[in-house]
Chain A
């Protein structure tokens, strides 16, 4: 009896460690490997940073997670965060119509691999899990990220994309 109890407790502790360190991974059906999901709001940090679950697709895990981070920044900047629990800012940082197209050269440079967007987003995985779907062509990964909206806005003002 005592042994069973000890085993159960060990299992519970292992679970907790796994959740704490997170990196737990949920696999979903492989047909979603090429499918695009919306970025959703999970919460807002006291400093105004937006905590988001975001999705990306790529030929491998690294590319997909990079794409997911890029999608999160693009959502905050240009689309607004509509989905999720409603705590995040629904309005995009840039409200100018067709802004992605008007400032095409700027945003192409901003969002290129290793571009400036990377400074404003980082993975938050201490308490959350990753979601994965993989098919023969693509992998889709979902991760939780924190996007620094205030810093992004300051950058857009500095670069004259939005008025002061």
Chain B
């Protein structure tokens, strides 16, 4: 009798287990970073001069080392996200990885010149290979003994840098002085909505491919090559345009700029997987076009320069 009862319970549990599996979906990988505004307001920036042009970028490494609030806050947001099943990449360990291969990076820069220059955020994205970067900034306001925190969370597509989710608000005034506690109180209300925006964007990526930008340019090396060059009566612009149409998911891309020496393709949707089942990336996609143009009747040599995860330049004319 007892055995029958146990069997019945086991069968019920099995049924519930099966039902619970329906709602789950593949989750995007997230990395939480402080926003540029926060880094600037708190003095965590680094100024570099490249060919006479001065740029100021966030200094993530110093921010992570010197600001314990940042570590606590990133950890707290990370916990809130991982509680909702989102896999995380850790900012601090990614920075350590970058430093470990710093010498190698320097060599790459010197070999290929200023074109390879990447911002610290692009370097982070390249290393972490997260799907979405969550930028966080916050400000603490003190009114008498009470404290409140105003925060902004922005989800950015790691490939395009486009904002795909956002949440902003001010938490209730509290006697607690711990920023992670204040932030948790403030963020909780909008967190589920924020994560559902991230998930919706990721579902779109899975369905329609990742979005990248591809620029095709011509080396000014006196060879006379231009996008108006004709092969079997068809201009090079149209040949490349047709190739893009055949190799983008659902033929989705925009040719936004077509000149004699430059073609700009934006909102290019590349598949998530290569034909052999390995993960596709921006460089591999551009390399397919490079190989296509290398073969007769075109016989065009070209060079690939990647910039971040989602931008690539293909420069025709020479290696």
Contacts and interface: CB of A to CB of B under 8 A. Distances in A.
Contacts of B25: 82-84
Interface stretch (B54-62, B142-150, B163-171, B243-251): B243-251
Contacts of B8: 12-13, 15-16
B177 interface: no
A114 to B, nearest CB: 29
Contact of A19 (B11, B26, B206, B274): B11
B18 interface: yes
Contacts of A12: 4-5, 8
Contact of B249 (A9, A92, A97): A97
A36 interface: no
A42 B276 CA distance: 25
Given A19-B11, A82-B26, A127-B14, A98 B249 contact: yes
B206 to A, nearest CB: 5
Contacts of B7: 16
Contacts of B231: none
B1 interface: yes
A2 to B, nearest CB: 12
A93 B21 CA distance: 23
Nearest to A5: B1
A129 interface: yes
Size category, B interface: 20 to 34
B271 A82 contact: no
A128 B1 contact: no
A50 interface: no
A29 B253 CA distance: 39
B251 A42 contact: no
A42 B21 contact: yes
A25 interface: no
A77 to B, nearest CB: 13
A9 B247 CA distance: 62
Given A40-B22, A86-B26, A90-B26, A9 B277 contact: no
B7 to A, nearest CB: 7
A15 B273 CA distance: 45
Given A91-B277, A97-B249, A98-B251, A86 B24 contact: yes
Interface in A85-121: 85-86, 90-92, 95-98
Interface in B11-48: 11-12, 14-15, 18, 21-22, 24-26
Interface in B252-296: 271, 273-277
Nearest to A127: B14
Contact of B24 (A85, A92, A162): A85
Contacts of B15: 19, 127-129
B21 A95 contact: no
Nearest to A37: B22
A92 B247 CA distance: 17
A132 interface: no
Contact of A85 (B1, B21, B250, B251): B21
Contacts of B5: 12
Contacts of A143: none
Contacts of A16: 4, 7-8, 11
A128 B21 CA distance: 13
Nearest to B21: A85
Contacts of B203: 82
B248 A97 contact: yes
Nearest to B209: A97
A95 B26 contact: no
Interface of B: 1, 4-5, 7-8, 11-12, 14-15, 18, 21-22, 24-26, 203, 206, 246-251, 271, 273-277
Given A82-B25, A83-B25, A127-B18, 10 more contacts: A12-B5, A12-B8, A15-B8, A16-B8, A40-B21, A40-B22, A92-B273, A97-B248, A97-B271, A98-B246
9 contacts: A9-B4, A16-B11, A19-B12, A83-B25, A84-B25, A85-B21, A85-B24, A98-B246, A127-B15
